[in-house]
Amino acid sequence: MTITAARAHLGSDERRDLRNVAIVAHVDHGKTTLVDAMLSQTKAVGGHGDVEDRVMDSGELEKERGITILAKNTTVFYSGPHAQEDAGVDKVTINVIDTPGHADFGGEVERGLSMVDGVVLLVDASEGPLPQTRFVLRKALAAQLPVLLVVNKTDRPDARISGVVSDSQDLLLGLASDIAEEDSSIDLDTVLDVPVVYASGKAGRASLEQPEDGGLPQNEDLEPLFSAILRHVPAPRYDAEQILQAHVTNLDASPFLGRLALLRVFNGTLRKNQLVSWVRKDGSHKTVKITELLITEGLERVPAEEAGPGDIVAVAGIPDIMIGETLTDPENPQALPDIVVDDPAISMTVGINTSPMAGRVKGAKVTARQVKDRLEKELIGNVSLKVLDTDRPDTWEVQGRGELALAVLIEQMRREGFELTIGKPKVLTREIDGVMQEPMEHMIIDAPEEYMGAITQLLAGRKGIMETMSNTGTGWIRMEFRVPARGLIAFRTKFLTETRGAGIASSYADGFEPWKGDIEYRISGSLVSDRAGTATPFAMINIQERGTFFIDPTDEVYEGMVVGENSRNEDMEINVTKEKKLTNMRSAGSDSFEGLTPPAKLTLEESLEFANEDECVEVTPEAVRIRKVVLDSSERSKQSRKKKSASQ
C-alpha cells in the first residue's frame, strides 16, 4: 500500500494503553542491542549485559554476520513512573519492530513501517547518519510517521554528539523538503521539531540531557526513552463504528499450527474461533475460521481470546494466506490496500548444479523440482523478491534489492542442503523515453585520508562521480559518489584491499540515469584447470608464481574449474594434477608443502564478486567453487572466436 492509505481508514478513537513503534537505523548502529536492553529492563527477558546474545537476531546468519535480516516484533509492558504521567494509564503495551539496517532488505523495512504509528531513528554518536539511515528515514517521512531521534553509543571515545544531532536535523529537513514537493501535506516545522534522546544501548542508559562526548547518559536506565516514546509516538487511532479490518504484514510457521499470519488490527475486534472474510490480492474473498489467536509477550507468543485495534497478533487456520491480504467482516468485506515495495535492482540466475561433482554430498537436494519449490517458498514471505522463468532448462532468474540480499538467500539454501549453479549478478535496466537507463547508487565512503587517491581511481573506473568530500580533521575523510549500481558489483573486495580493511562504504538506490558505458570489473584473469584429477603440491608449487590459488593440495578438480586468479589480464589453462616423476632417488612421499603459498579461500559473496561474465559459482553444502559456464576448453575457444568475429 501506501502506508498512509491504510491509516486513512482510522477514526478519532485511540488506544492510550498501546504504542506501536519501529526502530530504524543504519547497519551496526545498535538497534538490536537497544531492544535487548528494553526487554531486560521491563523484565521481558532476564539479565541484560550479555549483549552478544542479541536475542532479537535469532537467525543463524544474523548471529554470524551481526546484522538484522528479517524484521521481527516483540512486546514490552511498561508500568514505570511515566505510564500514568505521560499516557494516563497504569501499564502501557509497547510493540517494538526491529527492522534491518541494510537497504538490500528494504522490503522488511516497508513491512515493518506498515505496522506502526511512529519511528525511533537510531544514529551512531560517531558515524552519524549514513546511507541506510537516509533510506529508512525517507520511508518513514513518506508514511507521515512521527520520528524520535536517539543518538546511540554516546560513550564511544570518538563520539561527536552535537555534530551528529546537527547532521540528523539537516537530513530530516532535506528529505522532508524533497517529499513535500510531491506531498503538500508534509509540515516541515513539525519534522524539524524532533525530540532527541541520548542513549547507550550497551549500558542500558538514556537521558534527555546531552552528555559529554564519550560519556554515558546521566540516567542509569532507559526511563527517558520510554517516556519519550509514550509522549511522542501517538496511540493507535481507530473508528469505533468501523467493521473489522486486519492487515497481514508477515508470515511465520509453527510445527503444531501450520502457517501463521502476523497482522495488525486496524479496526474492530478479532477473536479466537471467529468467522472472518479473507480478502485475497486478486479481490476474491472467502469465509474462514480463526482457529488460534496468539499475542506476543516479550519474545514468546501466547494464546489469547481477542485482539483490538492497534494490536499486532498472529492467527492460524488459513494455510494459503499471503502478505498484503486482509481479514475483515464476512457480511461486508472491506479490504485494505496492498503492500507495495520498491522494485528489484539486481538479478542473477539460479539453477541446478551441473558440474561433474554434482550429487556427491549425501542427502543433498539436487533436483529441479526441489530448487523450484524452495524458491517459490521464499516468495511467500519475501515481498521484495521475484522469481522468473528463463529460456534455459532448470534455471530461474531471481531478482532482489541487492547483492547481499541474494547472497543471503543462496547461503540459506546451501545450509539447507541444496546444490546450485549461480550466475554472476547483473543490474536490471529499464527503457525510459526510448533510452536505456540503469539504476544508480549514492555511495558514502569513510576512510583514512591516505587512501583518497586509490579510492577515487577505483570508483572512476566504475563510472563513479565524486559529488562532495569533507575532512573531519581526525585523519579521516568522507567522500560521496554517484555511481552505477553495476559498478558496485565486485567492488567490496577491491575496496577493502585498497584501504587495507580500514575503509567503510555504504550506499542506497538513487534513481535511474542513461547507460554509462562498459565497466571493467577485473584486470586479472583466471587460472583454469584443463583436466580432472587431484591437485598435487608438485604442480601447484611450480605454477604458483602465475597467480593466487583458491584450492588446497589434494583437492579434487575438474576441467573448466577456476582454481585461482591469474596475475595477468587473461585466462590461463593449467594442469594442477601433474605428479612428480618417480626415480630411485625421489619418492612420492618427499613432496613438501613448505614452499607453497597458502590459498585464498573465497566466501560465497566473494566468489560472486570474483566471477567473470563467462563464469558461474557452484554451491554445495560442503564447498563453493567458481567454474566456467562452458567446461570444455575447445568449446570455449570456439565461442570466443565467434564472439570476436561478430564484434568486428
Known binding residues for GTP are: 28-33, 152-155
Measured distance CA(628)–CA(611) in Å, rounded: 9
Q: Which 3 state secondary structure label does DSSP give 446? A: strand
C-alpha closest to that of 335 among 399, 393, 286: 286
Please report which helix (H) or strand (E) contains residue 232, including its range. helix 223-232
Give the relative orientation of helices 131-142 and 161-182 as an angle to the nearest 10 degrees: 40
R_g over Cα of the chain: 27
The neighbour count for residue 415, using CB atoms within 10 Å, is 11
Q: Which 3 state secondary structure label does DSSP give 638? A: helix
CB contact set of 442 (below 8 Å; sequence gap of 6+): 131, 480, 481, 482, 507, 508, 510
Measured distance CA(617)–CA(411) in Å, rounded: 12
Query: DSSP letter at 365?
Result: B
Cα-flanking dihedrals φ and ψ of residue 5, to 5°? -65, -40
Longest dimension (CA), the chain: 98
Binding site feature residues: 28-33, 152-155
Give the relative orientation of helices 491-498 and 452-460 as an angle to the nearest 10 degrees: 160
Q: In which residue are the cell numbers 508514511 written? A: 143
Half-sphere exposure of 386 (CA within 13 A, CB side): 16
376 dihedral zone (left: phi>0; alpha: psi -120 to 50; beta): alpha
Q: Which 3 state secondary structure label does DSSP give 189? A: helix
Instruction: Write out the E strands in 192-282.
Output: 196-200, 205-207, 237-238, 245-254, 258-267, 270-271, 275-279
Half-sphere exposure of 501 (CA within 13 A, CB side): 0
Give the DSSP letter string of 541-605.
HHHGGGEEESS-TT-EE-TTEEEEEESSSS-EEE-S---PPP-SS--GGG--STTSPPP----HH
Q: Which three cell numbers stand for residue 166?
A: 546537527
Give the relative orientation of helices 131-142 and 106-113 as an angle to the nearest 10 degrees: 30
Q: By CB neighbour count within 10 A (0-12 exposed, 13-18 middle, 19+ buried), where does 585 fall?
A: exposed
What is the bridge-based pairing of β-strands 118-124 and 147-152?
parallel
